[in-house]
Chains A and B, each alone.
Chain A
Amino acid sequence: MHGYSAPLRDMKFLLFDILKIQDLANAIAAYGEATPDIVSAILEEASKFCANELQPLNRGGDEAGCAFENGVVTTAPGFKDAYAKFVEGGWPGLASDPAYGGQGLISPVNFAFDEMISSANLSFGLFPLLTQGVYYALKAHGTEEQKNTYLPKLVAGTWSGTMNLTEPQCGTDLGLIKTRAEPQADGTYKIFGTKIFISAGEHDLTENIVHLVLAKLPAAPAGVKGISLFVCPKFLPKADGTPGVRNAVACGSLEKKMGIKASPTCVMNYDGATAWLVGQPNKGLSAMFTMMNAARLAVGIQGLGVAEAAYQGAVDYARNRLQMRSAKGAKYPDKPADPIIVHPDIRRMLMRSRAMIEGCRALVLWIGQELDISFHHPDAERRQAAEDLVALMTPIVKSMLTDLGYAAANDAMQVHGGHGYIREWGMEQLARDARITQIYEGTNGIQALDLVGRKLPTGMGRLARRFFHPVGEYIEKRAANPFTAPHIAPLAKAFGRLQQTTLWLGQAGTANPEEAGAAATEYLRLFGLVAIGFMWSRMAEKAFKLNMSAPDEFYAAKIATAQFYMAKILPETGSLMASIMAGSGPVMGLKEEAF
């Protein structure tokens, strides 16, 4: 299989020319430290690490998977060494608070790094991803003691983390959980119950594993208002902070699954395991929600990473695979046949992936920057606006980017023909690995419901305003400009469709809640396509300007890809609108017995 090389040029273009991270230098300290030199150096080093250490392990990890024996999980060959180098290089704490030993890197750059890891080795990336989730949750809700005990270890990567939500009878509906926590005289709790689908629940990469567990206290209210959050380490920390006594939590078995085989998906049995309450009793779910945005954005980035890897593989294959001649006559008469990249249908697939990947990358890095603003900007109103925008866009980013991951991997397989279906070229693994991202951390259907049922109604559209007003103003300002008009006209049309559909949804959804449910997934996609269109418009405008002063193939390619997006992808919004406006009737019409 083709190797991986990180799209550094595109990443830098986005960070410096589109998001202009340097403009926030005065407002947010971490942006002041993120000088172009430093950011470029980090990205270069990260790309080397991913290409040289992680990507080569990807296929072997898929084939070997994880071994399970007597409660012990052994990761695939090479993972332990690679993880040691990962820790040694200081990569786990790249974006963490310097107070706990992190490097305080800004989110857009960290997101770019996450994308590279996901491109190189999705299974490997899950370990630090979960550790980061535990880090955020404890940082936001833990006591000082809990923070001091766990955060430095998690930041260093010597301890890893897990999230224990799902149980056999409860997935999306967490109100149904049964795991219970019994208060002890010493202020600790004993956890009893079984959790399933626990990524990295048990493994041999770190000296300790920190489990965050949702459980119910005695006499807790029914449903989601009665769930509490606990921290439960595999080894109870000793006074000196090193791992001590083994806790009564163990891996019961590993799931056999479609993809991400090098990531152990565990059944975790809690048999009176010692744990400590995190945050307030019965407020566990809201504590989990505070890190939900970050976690969902991270899963979106996984999809983006797989898409990039698949696209690179497909381009490489399309350049080298010689089959048939161009419809316009031989382009490479010296060769037995033309490379298949000359064929329009191959181009269609490659362009589609490329346009979506670059657009989605721009979108998620923008939201990453807004995430930082929502926490650190000195102006409270600016923080609120950013928080609103991130909340609104999170389900869109998660769904659009993970749908892209699977679609791009699927198209890349198709470009490979029969070779895409066999193991050697790596494409089928990418498709299998990508598939989970559409499911976990809230299925994409749930993301769509979150958007229409929770995010749109908040403040009667206040969150929506953070997107609609700037985009509306952006379009209005440029509508008459002959240079930008070619991009703006299709964007304006799609934006108008989004406005119409949103208003319709607001009215129809109030009258009949099923309307919102029936429209949700298509509405999210419509929204996502407009948001990506907005990013493409900004990118095209900038590339156009830069290309005038310093012509460059990179800018020319940007402009051509933007045109592809506007002409070939954005028009999907028309059919989505028509389908949404058809209402819930066609969806709900068939009698249940008739299925």
Chain B
Amino acid sequence: MTIAKVCVIGAGVMGSGIAAQVANAGLPVLLLDIVPPGVEDRSTLAKAALVKLAAAEPAPLMSKAAAKLIEAGNLEDDLKRLAECDWIIEAVTERLEVKQALYRKVDAARKPGSILSSNTSTLPLKMLMAGMPESLRRDFCITHFFNPPRYMRLLEIVAGPDTRVDAINAVAAFSDVKLGKSVVHAKDTPGFIANRIGVYWIQYAVNAAIEMGLSVEEADAVMGKPIGAPKSGVFDLLDIVGLDLQPHIDASLRAALPKSDGYQKLSADFPLLQKMISEGLTGRKGKGGFYRLNKAGNKKTKEAMDLKTGNYRPVMKVSLESVDGAKGGLRALVSHPDRGGKFAWTVLSQLLNYVAGLVPEIADDVADVDLAMRTGFNWKRGPFELIDQLGAAWFAEKLAVEKMPVPPLLATAAKQGGFYQASSDGQKQLCLDGRYKAITRPAGALLLADIKLKGSPLAKNGSASVWDLGDDVACLEFHSKMNSIDLDTLSMAKKAIEIVSKGMRALVLYNDAENFSVGANIGLALFAANIGMWPVLDDLITQGQNVMKALKFAPFPVVGAPAGLALGGGCEFLLHCAAVQAHAETYMGLVEVGVGIVPGWGGCKEMLIRQNAGNVPHGPMPAVMAAFEQISLAKVSKSAANAKELKYLRKADGITMNRDRLLPDAKALALKLAAEYIPPLPVELRLPGPSGKVALNMAIETYALQGLALPHDVTVSGQLANVLSGGATDVTEITSEDRVMELERGAFMALVKTEPTLARIEAMLATGKPLRN
């Protein structure tokens, strides 16, 4: 079956967020909620949700076009329209009788064979379906999204005993390909996978921090980055989730889990939390949580809750050797004798021990558990990967020494050498029977990591590699720190072009990293500038421009496949590709002005072309103005769809929703283009010259007078204006692509010799934020 239209019932944060993600995928979606008593507009709840969606941060919607795909309605007047929908997602309040009453109404209105799923996080499927007709039971499952649905990749799907296999498959495939979710099949057990583990983790860590006398900052410093969790740790995570939710989640888990479950041993006695909730200190949505920003007295002071006194005090810098030493590995962290190390060991030993006893109760295999924690809690590594990092044998032995029980699965892993094994035919995981079996990705998903396991690169240096993707398609992978681009990256790009020219058909620019590229390596450039090595900088521009030209005019198609950040030089790489297949979450932009320079690798030139500066009838100024505004404001797209709106991407460029499908999609696009590829001809631009520059400069000066542009912005924008207006040309002359790049170089070299530019670069490297000077 195909899913062509979706209905979401319940226009709360989760329901509207799920609806937004369906719309992001390009599908029409109906969002329904009840008719509150005494209102004029009977669809007011869903309509209000749409207004909130448009304003929410981080934005649930990827584009303006997506917003138009959501239709707001109500459960009375629009109930019959359920018949239009192939999948109906229920996301209403967590009360059994409410849900069941709704299901009866839905069942009467939906079309036969359509799927109904619940987004419940606490109610078991067997209770939801108790007393329901078999026809509904066959079409029903749980689809548990994580908040916010656009950004959290995990989707837990729970099938009931009567659920049709093809219904589950249809929901899973749709959620994977269209919604971009990592689908994990969970069992009908309390909290499913991620919350069962995550809630244990939070509850245990909070208890231990109080018991062991750690401050909230210290606990979060340990339970964040050092263990591969987000830096919010546990206390800040509670602030984000909402403190008031924790007692509910805790109570529902306690009620649902058997008395023998390890969770029951955790203390639920947390008077401070009760006190905070009763005072309205419910976290970020309330008056503050374990942290707050105190704005008293015209000052913004970040404060933290003192766990002993229950009062706020200024946030303290954490100084724990164990945290500093965690770079030496997880074992170094948990073995450290300071209180951070002891805390880490106490929490992790309990947690990992607990989790090791949960397979196969909550999931069929360990890889699913790890995937759930990675994608549902944004951990870098799941619990079994953490055990492997500690060393399964080492961990089991240490548990034994401390007289803690060692679950059978862990004992097996300790004997066999861990939960995972890398092999040339892919990553393998330990099964319950003690054997290792291959971990399979959903059909059609592919990561470069899979290719890497099977062979060696065609070429490699410290910053980039070239891989063979099969079918005569090569992949240029960046792998420097943050994928910043340096001379090594450029020389590997040249090498890639050379390799493909000798008998391959296409080149894909792709890497598995979170961010495609943060831009050129400005650290190297800054050092060279500081010691006055101007030829090095000139060379960096020349080499970059040569590579961009070679990519653009290559006799084969080059397909860029970005995900995450693609900024500055990274964006310029993509602007020179024949086509781009972008992950939906792609944040592109030419942000050079933030560090006091202008795009120097053809970024200015390509934006002029994108803005249609070859088009004489309209005159050159609109295109120049548009490019100027975009580059001088360093606009970064908020999604791939938004990148199209900003013209960083072209209309024909592709968007892939699931991160794990980006590489195969890009490769397919490359092969499609290669079938009859004709390289582009250089564009002949018509630029206004000095008269246009005067107009742009006037715009800058107006900004400066209004206080919108800082002193150095005026200098930088002045250089940018000179480049975009074409220098000493006029509209009767043709300006070549090469000429614009020459102007880019001139502007770059002039700016990089100025103190404020060097100060901006230095500040960016030191703080990650632009310096306003």
Which residues of A are in contact with B by a Cβ distance under 8 Å?
221-222, 225, 381, 459-462, 464-465, 468-469, 472, 499, 502-503, 506-507
Contact = CB atoms under 8 A, between A and B. Distances in A.
A499 B762 contact: no
B526 A503 contact: no
Given A221-B319, A222-B321, A460 B530 contact: yes
Contacts of B529: 461, 465
Interface of B: 319, 321, 523-524, 526-533, 536, 755, 758, 761-762, 765-766
Contacts of B319: 221, 225
A225 B321 CA distance: 12
8 contacts: A460-B523, A460-B526, A460-B527, A465-B530, A465-B532, A468-B532, A499-B533, A502-B531
Given A499-B531, A502-B531, A503-B533, A462 B762 contact: yes
Nearest to B753: A469
Nearest to B763: A459
**For A221, A461, A507, which residue has the most chain B Cβ atoms within 10 angstroms?**
A461
A465 B529 CA distance: 8
Main secondary structure of the interface of B (DSSP, over half): helix
Nearest to A470: B532
B598 to A, nearest CB: 20
Nearest to A469: B532
Q: Which 9 A-B pairs have the closest CB atoms?
A: A461-B530, A472-B532, A465-B530, A460-B526, A468-B532, A461-B527, A468-B531, A459-B762, A502-B531
B758 A462 contact: yes
Given A225-B319, A503-B536, A464 B531 contact: yes
A434 B202 CA distance: 64
Given A460-B527, A460-B765, A506-B527, A465 B758 contact: yes
**For B530, B536, B761, which residue has the most chain A Cβ atoms within 10 angstroms?**
B530
B526 A461 contact: yes
Nearest to B527: A461
A462 B527 CA distance: 8
Given A465-B758, A472-B532, A503 B321 contact: no
A85 B463 CA distance: 68
Nearest to B761: A460
A463 to B, nearest CB: 8
Main secondary structure of the interface of A (DSSP, over half): helix
A111 to B, nearest CB: 28
Contacts of A221: 319
A98 B761 CA distance: 41
B711 to A, nearest CB: 13
B304 to A, nearest CB: 20
Contacts of A381: 755
A459 B531 contact: no
Nearest to A465: B530
Contacts of A499: 531-533
A381 B759 CA distance: 11
A499 B762 CA distance: 19
Contacts of A225: 319
Nearest to A507: B524
A225 B317 CA distance: 14
A220 to B, nearest CB: 12
A462 B764 CA distance: 13
A381 B758 CA distance: 13
Nearest to A471: B532
Contacts of B533: 499, 503
Contacts of A462: 530, 758, 762
Contact of A503 (B531, B765, B766): B531
**For B321, B529, B532, B755, which residue has the most chain A Cβ atoms within 10 angstroms?**
B532
B531 A461 contact: yes
A472 B532 CA distance: 7
A281 B522 CA distance: 38
A389 B530 CA distance: 13
A515 B321 CA distance: 28
Nearest to A460: B526
Contacts of A222: 321
Contacts of B755: 381
B527 A503 contact: yes
Contact of B762 (A460, A468, A472, A503): A460
Contacts of B321: 222
Contacts of B530: 459-462, 464-465, 468-469
A478 to B, nearest CB: 15
B86 to A, nearest CB: 56
Contacts of B762: 459-460, 462
Nearest to B758: A465
A151 to B, nearest CB: 33
A464 B530 CA distance: 6
A472 B549 CA distance: 33
A465 B523 contact: no
A203 B410 CA distance: 71
Contacts of A468: 530-532
**For A221, A459, A506, A507, which residue has the most chain B Cβ atoms within 10 angstroms?**
A459
Contacts of B531: 461, 464-465, 468, 499, 502-503, 506
Contacts of A507: 524
A364 B679 CA distance: 62
A460 B523 CA distance: 7
B461 to A, nearest CB: 13
A460 B527 CA distance: 5
Contacts of A506: 527, 531
Nearest to A282: B319
B177 to A, nearest CB: 43
Contacts of B761: 460
Nearest to A503: B533
A468 B526 CA distance: 13
Nearest to A385: B755
A507 B524 CA distance: 8
A471 to B, nearest CB: 8
Contacts of A465: 529-532, 758
Given A465-B529, A468-B530, A503-B531, 15 more contacts: A221-B319, A222-B321, A225-B319, A459-B766, A460-B523, A460-B526, A460-B761, A460-B765, A462-B762, A465-B531, A472-B532, A499-B531, A499-B533, A503-B536, A507-B524
Contacts of B526: 460-461
Contacts of A461: 526-527, 529-531
Contacts of A460: 523, 526-527, 530, 761-762, 765
Contacts of B758: 462, 465
Contacts of B532: 465, 468-469, 472, 499
**For A222, A460, A472, which residue has the most chain B Cβ atoms within 10 angstroms?**
A460
A397 B712 CA distance: 35
B218 to A, nearest CB: 14
Contacts of A503: 527-528, 531, 533, 536
A221 B324 CA distance: 14
A121 B439 CA distance: 80
Nearest to A495: B532
Nearest to A222: B321
B354 to A, nearest CB: 34
A499 B531 CA distance: 6
A502 B533 CA distance: 10
A469 B523 CA distance: 18
B618 to A, nearest CB: 44
A464 B526 CA distance: 11
Nearest to A458: B762
Contacts of A469: 530, 532
Nearest to A466: B530
Contacts of A459: 530, 762, 766
Contacts of B766: 459
A503 B319 CA distance: 34
B325 to A, nearest CB: 12
A468 B762 CA distance: 17
Nearest to B522: A460
Contacts of B524: 507
A465 B524 CA distance: 14
A570 B530 CA distance: 23
